[in-house]
Amino acid sequence: MNRERFIRQRRDDWQQFETLLNGMKKRRLTQWSGNDITRLSGLYRSVCYDLSLVQSREWGARLEQYLNDLVAQGHNCLYRSPPGSLDTALKFLSIGFPRLLRVRRHFFFVSLALFAVPFLIAMVIAAIDPVMAERIIDKTQMEQAGESYSQDLYREIDASFAEERSYMTGFYVWNNVGIAFRCFALGAFFGIGTVVTLLFNGIMLGAVTGYIINQGFADNFFSFAISHGSFELTAIVISGAAGLLLGWGMVHPGELSRRESLRVHGLDAIKLASGAGFMLVIAALIEGYFSPMALPHSLKYAVGTMLWALVFVYLVHGGRDTTDTNSTIDGRRRRFSAAHTAEYAK
């Protein structure tokens, strides 16, 4: 077959593909019909083969460029991401996020150890000997923390409570998200920054907690912290896991290039950090409005225990009984990509 005959035979398909492509790009994904997708996929594969044939027989740069443009447009049309929506976000938070965390659970457990071990050690040391804790944290800061929990924050709910707690809620969001973001973002430094941040925060929080216990204010402190702590502390550990995952992609790319490894691992890391951010917003709302309320400590302990159980069930069982649509789509894309790569190789 010569070049002119090839063009005459294939021109109609190229024009059909171009017309169909232009029409589908103007419509939303939800408005695409099954017949359109089938036709576009079939024509796309044939154009891919045509391009490989033109390249192998060197039938001209202009023809090759024209077909290459068609293939690029078809690829972008078929593989474009669906527009974001509230339903997509809710589906990710309820299904995708806990499922992804379980897939990357090894990084979660490493992050948990880096935070919890120094926390417990610092807490025990400070509870036994506050003087030792002063070598870690400024004495004035510890005394201020102890004074804050020497009595209940509020004894009644009034207008001042609502005003002050609204302000503090905003502060908690800013502060907690800032800590979590540092845990995640510093993972770009080969994970070292994340490790240091987790160790530092574990030691600091542990020392303050131990000092408060030593001063005899443990009941006020734990009744305040138990409710929002379920979301807040877990989210910080998850942010640490995201940072470690980011660092792992740079340190250990495996068979991928370092750039490709960072892209693959970084995408999962961003998703984990996004889920952690959602949890921190919930933690800030609880810490701002419920934790300081003038309620019996026994009630706060009961609610806090239920919230810890809720977080556990959410992360361990969330999305287990549903079909992973995203994985199915990704699988189809991989198979389709392999198919048109094979067409190129012919």
Burial grade of 61 (CB within 10 A; 0-12, 13-18, 19 or more): exposed
Residue 336: inside a domain, yes or no?
Answer: no
Residue 110: inside a domain, yes or no?
Answer: yes
**Residue type (1 letter), 90:** L
| C-beta of residue 256 within 8 angstroms of C-beta of residue 332 | no
Residue 318: DSSP 8-state: T
Q: Give the C-alpha separation, 155 to 90, whole Å.
A: 37
Whether residues 30 and 175 fall in one domain: no
Whether residues 267 and 134 fall in one domain: yes
Worst-scoring range by mean pLDDT, 81-85, 262-266, 323-327?
323-327
For residue 31, the enclosing domain spans 3-83
Number of structural domains the chain divides into: 2
**Where among 63, 83, 103 does a domain terminate?**
83
Q: Which residues of 85-97 are buried (b: 16+ CB within 10 A; e: fewer)?
A: eeeeeebbbebbb
Whether residues 113 and 55 fall in one domain: no
User: HSE of 218 in the Cβ direction (CA atoms, 13 Å)?
Assistant: 9
Whether residues 68 and 127 fall in one domain: no
Nearest to 209 by CA among 130, 313, 305, 288: 130
Question: How confident is the model over 246-258, as pLDDT tens digits?
Answer: 898 888 877 767 7
pLDDT value at 80 more than 70: no
Mean pLDDT of the chain: 81
- Which tokens go with 152? 């209940």
Residue 267: inside a domain, yes or no?
Answer: yes
pLDDT value at 342 more than 90: no
Question: How confident is the model over 202-233, as pLDDT tens digits?
Answer: 999 999 899 899 888 889 899 989 999 999 99
